[in-house]
Amino acid sequence: MSQIRKATHNLGSKNIIGEGGYGPVYKGNLGGMPVAIKLLRPHGKQGFPEYQQEVAMLSRLEHPHIVKLIGVCQESCSLVYEHLPNGTLQDRLTNGLPWEDRVRILAEQRNALKYLHSRRPNAIIHADLKLTNILLDAGDVSRLGDFGTARAVHVKPLEEETIVRRTIPMGTIGELTTESDVYAFGVVIMQLLTGMDGIKITEKVRGAAKMHSVLDASAGPWPVVEAERLLKLALRCCSMERKQRPAITSDADWKPLEILRAKAAPASKTWKWNCFAS
């Protein structure tokens, strides 16, 4: 705790860069490294179970598009992460973001989810995918964060379609599956392509007379045909029938995203992350 106090000027209010159900988030400097420190608020809505869950998850994950957990302070139930100076994707989208960057970020986050869903013997379901939980570094490269409600679910090798577990995320009772993440990712896709907020976005996109009419013009000139195909895939992600949703791990299902990604960047700059790397 003494290190955390020193890193944050004794938890000074000027160092606060965020606030959530868990508690305040401070920017700090730990041994010359800029860090973000999430401090548990006593008696907060999100508390010790979420702290334990995040430590359990992030301590065994390593992926370029998942936030890095640098350390923990058990004394204060604090979590210390790499500091990502460009904030949340929600904030970045509000301030303007070219379509090429939006598509690249979607490809990055699909790779992060593929990595989580492909882990064996336990697939990991994030369970809280949204714009405010996707963070950006100085170059706008994305990281998926906030694993406080994530769950590891045992998966039998040939039964990927039956990943189901009864759980109680954030006080609600329901069936948590990999398809839950797919639904949330579909909403994120539509938000990035249209610039709309998430409220009834599926109905708005589905009800558009011409799908290209909902593309966010502030992002620049979209490749219309390819963007419409990705919007249609996003609508599939948000199907009320779980079995209709594309699997994050199926490259064939995600060709529309890969095609649009290829248009967003020269071939010499494209690269693929091996989702099975440790």
Q: How many CB atoms lie within 10 A of CB 216?
A: 19
**E strand map for 98-245:** 122-125, 134-136, 142-144, 151-154, 164-167, 174-177
Which 3 state secondary structure label does DSSP give 265? coil
* 217 in Cβ contact with 240 (< 8 Å): no
Residue 118 vs residues 54, 60, 162, 274: alpha-carbon distances, Å: 19, 14, 14, 11
Which 3 state secondary structure label does DSSP give 140? coil
Catalytic choice (128, 146, 181, 216): 128
Structure tokens at 49: 């179970």
Task: Judge whether 181 counts as a catalytic residue.
Answer: no
Active-site residue set: 128
